[in-house]
Amino acid sequence: MIYNNLEFPNLPNRPYFYTNYVSTIDGKIMVTKNPKAYWPIGSDVDFQEFINLRTYADVIIHGKNTALWHRTVDSLAKKEFQRARIKRGKNSTLPYVVVSAHPNDELIPILENDTKQEIILATVDDSKISAQLQKYVTVKRFKGNIVDVTRLANFLHKKGYKTALIEGGPILLGHFFKQNLTDEIFLTIAPKVFGGEDNNTITMVENTLLLPHEIKHFELISSEIVENELFLRYKIK
């Protein structure tokens, strides 16, 4: 493994948040038109590190669109993955948080499972959640018209989670950057160029433009080349 025996600090008032992305050389993480034709972006090595980085987390966080992309509950239930977590000193099951101000029954086939997987649906006070969806999730409501990630961080801290992995999407990650809640970035640069037109590609952060005085500065703390891919680890300054 590239990221082996990682150590993250314990913060006194919130979890330590890290994120993991794979990007093309020209900075694209997805093509919104026919996305599966452009997937995967990274290699098998990148995918193994994607799974590996999950073994360090106390909780994993997805926005609604990221959750709809893949049945993450199946990946989290794999015995090999759960054994790897136990070797890290973690609980075998990884709690899963889905953040959405407007959840609907599209999530049911993505989240339904017959395991003991803990799934928290973080939403707003006035969202409507069907009884069927509530069979698979624990609902946590927050005041406002969006889920306040600072309050979410406080909630996760009270639950005892020390490390939290944000896997996206880019809009949700933008909220974490805006609130100074992103501590580390694991970034794989894949040797590809997608280009783009008509706003049909997206980058790591979308719908959030930080003001000049809000720009986040990171320091590179590790880098490794595997064949033609570059694996980078950054920590907030």
Over residues 87-125, the pLDDT tens digits come to 999 999 999 999 999 999 999 999 999 888 999 999 999
Query: pLDDT class for 222, splitting at 50, 70, 90?
Result: very high
CB 146 within 8 A of CB 42: no
| pLDDT computed for residue 177 by the predictor | 98
- How would you classify the pairing of strands 184-190 and 229-236? antiparallel
CA distance 151 to 97: 14
CA distance 115 to 182: 31
Q: What would the two tokens of residue 187 be?
A: 């970034």
CA distance 43 to 41: 7
- Boundaries of every domain in the chain: 16-24+42-236
Indicate the Cα dihedral angle 119, 204, 8, 66, nearest 10°.
Answer: 10
Which one-letter DSSP state was computed for residue 194? Answer: -
Q: What would the two tokens of residue 136 be?
A: 């698979």
CB 127 within 8 A of CB 157: no
**Count of other CB atoms within 10 angstroms of residue 51:** 14
Q: What angle do CA 92, 97, 100 make, to 5 degrees?
A: 165
Helix (H, G, I), strand (E, B), or coil: what is residue 20?
strand
Q: Is the pLDDT of residue 206 over 90?
A: yes
**Count of other CB atoms within 10 angstroms of residue 52:** 19
CA distance 122 to 100: 6
How many residues are there in the chain? 237
Indicate the Cα dihedral angle 109, 111, 115, 140, nearest 10°.
Answer: -150
CATH topology of domain 16-24+42-236: Dihydrofolate Reductase, subunit A (3.40.430)
Cα dihedral 204, 206, 209, 214 sign: negative
Per-residue pLDDT of 19-51, as tens digits, reads: 999 999 999 999 999 999 999 999 999 999 999
Per-residue pLDDT of 158-205, as tens digits, reads: 999 999 999 999 999 999 999 999 999 999 999 999 999 999 999 999
Per-residue pLDDT of 75-87, as tens digits, reads: 999 999 999 999 9
Which one-letter DSSP state was computed for residue 103? Answer: -
| pLDDT computed for residue 74 by the predictor | 97
DSSP 119-180: EEEEEETT----HHHHTT-EEEEESSSS--HHHHHHHHHHTT--EEEEEE-HHHHHHHHHTT
| pLDDT computed for residue 116 by the predictor | 84
Beta-carbon contacts of 29 under 8 Å, excluding residues fewer than 6 positions away, are 21, 22, 23, 41, 170, 202, 203, 204
| pLDDT computed for residue 115 by the predictor | 82
| pLDDT computed for residue 114 by the predictor | 87
